[in-house]
Structure 1
Amino acid sequence: MAETAIELSPTAQSEIAEALNQCVAETAVLTMLAQNFHWNVEGPHFGPLHELFQTLYEDHFVGQDDLAERIKAIDMHAEGTLAGMVARSKIKEVEGAPDDTEMLRVLMEAEMTLAKTLAGAANIAETHGDLLTQDLAIERGRAHEKFAWMLRAHLKRMS
């Protein structure tokens, strides 16, 4: 039976919020990776990569907000500290100044990691009959798979 946010059991709320907080954390770290690379990309592919990385971080910032607001809609706490997000995330920050090819590879892998995390969140939401969270997680997962494809296409061009 489909449930709305206020009809979810406390167990469902907790499990869904945990999954969504994981998604928020990974989205936050990925957003910053894309912005960092946007600021620091150099070389002959500067123009298109600078623009692509901006597209990523702008999309991801909005997605992060949508996920956090869904956590609040189910009456749970949305993790809001950078330290908490970095500690929780399976996506890790990158130190130093990687070249443009490495930036693309790192972002592509991070996009796929996040797409997988979102698919898992969709499954958890479905288990609890929370179709609205499931739909949001699926929508965001599709966006991240698409970005992974775009990054892969750039990598092929650069090989």
Structure 2
Amino acid sequence: MAETASDLSTDASAEIATALNQALAETVVTTMLAQNYHWNVTGMAFGPLHALFQEIYEDHFTGQDDLAERVRAIGETAEGKLATHLDRSKVKEGDEHAEDKEMIRHLAEAQETIGATLAGLSEIAAGHGDVRTEDLAIERGRIHDKFAWMLRAHLR
């Protein structure tokens, strides 16, 4: 087990950083997606959706920082270019003209995508004995699962 970040091998740090940067890219894109929808949602559910989308993007902004700081803590570079995040992310930008239910569906799918990416990160970190990254991935995964559930509840 790697008791500190400096205990990780160069190969382990690189592999973990790649997975962290994937999660970071998806979180960055989803942060902007939620903010876009926050600004542009309309309809009878405007109030609660406007508030929920804000809760999501505020949480995700903090999550971005946590992920990027973990990349740095293991001695690697956190990717910071928006174009890189857009290219890398499995989550795609949304249409600000979408109907509220499409916004909800897209944002729920984004939460599930990030959750899956974080589960993969957790496995990679565990495989290298990096319990701190594993813990971060598990905790962030729980948050994304909760947001996916909250969003999907609006579709029923």
- Shorter-chain TM range is over 0.9
Please give the alpha-carbon distance, in whole angstroms, between the structure 2 residues aligned to 1:41 and 1:122.
34
Does residue 53 in structure 1 map to residue 53 in structure 2? yes
In the aligned structure 2, how far is the partner of 1:35 from the partner of 1:106?
Answer: 13
User: Does the Cα contact within 8 Å between 2:68 and 2:78 map onto a contact in 1?
Assistant: yes
Q: Which whole-Å CA distance do the structure 2 matches of 1:63 and 1:128 have between them?
A: 22
Does structure 1 retain, via aligned residues, the 8 Å contact 2:37–2:96?
no
AA aligned opposite 2:126: E
Deviation at 1:2, TM superposition (A): 3.6
Name the counterpart of 1:28: 28
Identity score, percent: 64
| Residue of structure 2 in register with 1:126 after alignment | 126
Deviations 1:61-83 (A, max 9, x none): 00010000000000100000000
Q: CA deviation at 1:96?
A: 4.5
The amino acid across from 2:12 in the alignment is: A
TM-score by length of 2: 0.98
The yes-or-no answer on 1:77 pairing with 2:80 is no
Structure 2: gaps of 5 or more residues: none
The 2-side partners of 1:44 and 1:102 are apart by 14
How far apart are 1:95 and its partner, in Å? Answer: 3.1
Cα drift, residue 4 of structure 1: 1.6
Q: 2:2 touches 2:8 (CA, 8 Å); kept in 1?
A: no
Q: Write out the 4+ residue segments of structure 1 that deviate beyond 6 Å after TM superposition.
A: none
Corresponding residue number in structure 1 for 2:148: 148
- Separation in 2, partners of 1:45, 1:96: 16
